Structure 1
Amino acid sequence: MNKIIMDTALQFVQQYFPGCKAALLSGSVVRGEQTSSSDLDILILSNDSFRKSCQFMDWPIEVFVHNEDSLSYNFFLEEQHGVPLLTRICAEGIVLKGEELGEALIREGKELLNKGPSAWPKSQLDKMRYRITDLLDDLEGSTLPEEDLFTVTALTEKLHQFILRANQQWTGEGKWMYRSLKDFNPGMSKELEKYLREYYQLSKKKELIQYIDELLEPYGGRLFDNFSQ
């Protein structure tokens, strides 16, 4: 861990949350993946519950303040929704303050992250498969490239969510969509990336559609006939 980053995080906690029960530093700086636009993710365990973004000593900081009840509730919500923001922050955290409580948060985060989100019932899987089918049909029949751009964006989001939740894996948003797919199946994420690049660079949508159909096949393929909600 970079000493400057650690010292900055410690000073931030000492200045703004001196009475907190525990504090964790997490995010890309802990994983060694920081870029020029990275911020510091800091979890604070106290009596309050809020999220705030601020600038401190030339560092952008995202601070997540929770009490025991609000943190447990957010763990529950993330398990249902499938996006492990606070769960991952705890699992990958480094203790800044409150050694015993901080280590307990890290252990709980790791356990929840390894467990995965709640399983989707068949009705939810069918609903998402129906939506993907609708988007594939739109993409196949479309003659407007400008509309296809948005259709493919929606397809990518829903496909990644369907594949991962069908296998009781965590999903993500933005860059974490790719990272989550890669964690689950590196070969699949690489192939999907290839076909998406070919679409965006060469407008080759037929190949992308065929690959998505291949991904859907183990789950029953496209779904339209007799679908009800």
Structure 2
Amino acid sequence: MIDFELVDLARGLVRDRFPHLRAAWLGGSFVSETATPTSDLDLTVLLPGPPAPYRESLRYEGYPVEVFVQTEQSLSHFCDKGLETRRPTMIRLVGESIILADHDGTGASWQRRCLDWLRTGPEPLSQAEVDARRYRITDLLDDLRGAQDQDRIGMIGSGLLESSADLLLSGSKRWVGGGKALVTELERMDKETGSRWLDDLLGATRSAWTGDPGPIAKVSEQILDQFGGPLFEGFRAEARIPTAYS
């Protein structure tokens, strides 16, 4: 249940610190109702111009707060970056939010725009992108087969968790993430499709850290098989060298 006292606190913060704001949104775990005792308030504030853009961590009336202060140009940049990388951090912070202030309509319009992106999903992977992910997982599986000690098996297993989940999600035209955001995206997929990928991947990775490579190898191979199987021979990736070094 959303804590509306915290919503009022967030509204007071943006009113006190940003008197010339255009819009502000409260997003993150307090809105998705996944907050823990150590969670901070995630605020995005839209200003007409400088001193934005910047990010600031602070405490307000005892609560930890992360403030992402944007202009329309910088907000567009970070949303475009999220679309490109399939990691919609800023898009979720604005789209899945409570509007705290909206002085010129941009609060509602940006929220609608971000929600549309979230519902549509990212662009499908190109074949080259699929192949690069297949190669990465194949390479990790080869490393896993040769690993002799528990620590290396655990580390490779963690790499397979992230790489396999990335292929599974992005290859299914879904959003991806890192750390706890990856768990959230897998949870969303499992809830919507009735799958058990999160439990399978996490359980297999735990086994890897005990020195048992079998479960994570099996789950990773199952995901690989959905997208063409292992890839090593014949894989080629063109190098892109910055102009300054060419």
Establish whether residue 165 from structure 1 lines up as the match of residue 170 from structure 2.
yes
Matches within 5 A, 1:1-229: 1-46=2-47, 47=49, 48-98=52-102, 100-185=105-190, 186-200=195-209, 202-229=210-237
Identity in percent: 29
Question: Deviation per CA, 1:114-135, whole angstroms, max 9, x where unpaired?
Answer: 1212222111110111111111
**CA-atom RMSD, angstroms?**
1.5
TM-score w.r.t. length of structure 1? 0.94
The residue type paired with residue 163 of structure 1 is L
Take 2:32 and 2:149, find their aligned partners in 1: how far apart are those partners? 42
- Higher mean C-alpha displacement, 147-156 vs 88-97: 147-156
The residue type paired with residue 159 of structure 1 is S
More helix by share: 1
Aligned length: 228
By how many angstroms is 1:165 displaced? 1.3
**Native 8 Å contact 1:78 1:117 kept in 2:** no
Take 2:189 and 2:155, find their aligned partners in 1: how far apart are those partners? 26
By how many angstroms is 1:90 displaced? 1.0
By how many angstroms is 1:218 displaced? 1.8
By how many angstroms is 1:225 displaced? 1.5
From the superposition, tell whether residues 122 and 20 of structure 1 become closer, same or farther in structure 2 (CA, over 3 Å).
same
By how many angstroms is 1:203 displaced? 2.6
**Native 8 Å contact 1:135 1:151 kept in 2:** yes
The residue type paired with residue 7 of structure 1 is D
TM-score w.r.t. length of structure 2? 0.88
By how many angstroms is 1:106 displaced? 1.4
**Native 8 Å contact 2:25 2:100 kept in 1:** yes
By how many angstroms is 1:139 displaced? 0.6
Helix, strand or coil: the match of 1:25?
strand
**Native 8 Å contact 2:154 2:205 kept in 1:** no
